[in-house]
Amino acid sequence: MIRDIVIYPDKRLRKVSKDITEFDEKLHTLLNDMYETMIAKEGIGLAAIQIGIEKNILLINLADEDGKQEKEDLLEAINPKITHLEGNETYQEGCLSVPGYYEDVQRAQNITVEYFDRYGTKIVRNLEGLLAIAMQHEIDHLKGHLFIEKLSYLKRKKFEKEWKKRLKAGK
């Protein structure tokens, strides 16, 4: 089932999500709904709070070398934790909860992340490139943070002004 995306400045996006304790059918249905929603909205990453569910779950599905977004490349992470951050990288980010807005954001270049898959198996991975960026972006959602909070003061002011204008115009 495709769910509605929670759009900025909805307060739910500031909630701190909670850990999953049961790796059951209900979790699998939620993961499937998240995937369906992410694909329908043309996203490459989605956190559960973006469909209003305060749970520590995220999805990342990047395009492969051929530019194709294949389901076999889908990364499902439950209760993810970053245990190591290294280096610095800038990437122009966007977010399904802030549609139509893209801006450069600085993050770590390489990270180590620990999480569980849908069956409760623990995974430890070193990530780099866009996967490392996406993981940091999505884990920020689980902590109640958005990429726009990482903008400079002036860029944030400009964003807020444009966003208010857009909301007034009803877009």
Q: Which residues bind ligand QAP (CB under 6 A)?
A: 42-45, 91, 93-96, 99-100, 130, 133-134, 137
Task: Mark residues 72-101: x for contact with Co ion by CB under 5 A, - for none.
Answer: -----------------------x------
| Residue 41 to residue 60: CA distance in whole angstroms | 13
Total residues binding Co ion (CB under 5 A): 1
Please report the DSSP string for 17-58 in residue order: PB-----SHHHHHHHHHHHHHHHHTT-SEEEGGGGT--BSEE
Is the Cβ of residue 40 or residue 122 nearer to ligand QAP in the bound state? 40
Tokens linked to 111: 């990270």
Catalytic residue among 103, 114, 138, 160: 138
Is the Cβ of residue 27 or residue 47 nearer to Co ion in the bound state? 47
Rg (CA), the chain: 16
The Cβ of residue 97 has, within 10 Å, a number of other Cβ atoms equal to: 24
Distance in Å, CB of 25 to ligand QAP, minimum: 27
Indicate if 65 belongs to the active site.
no
State the catalytic residues.
Answer: 138
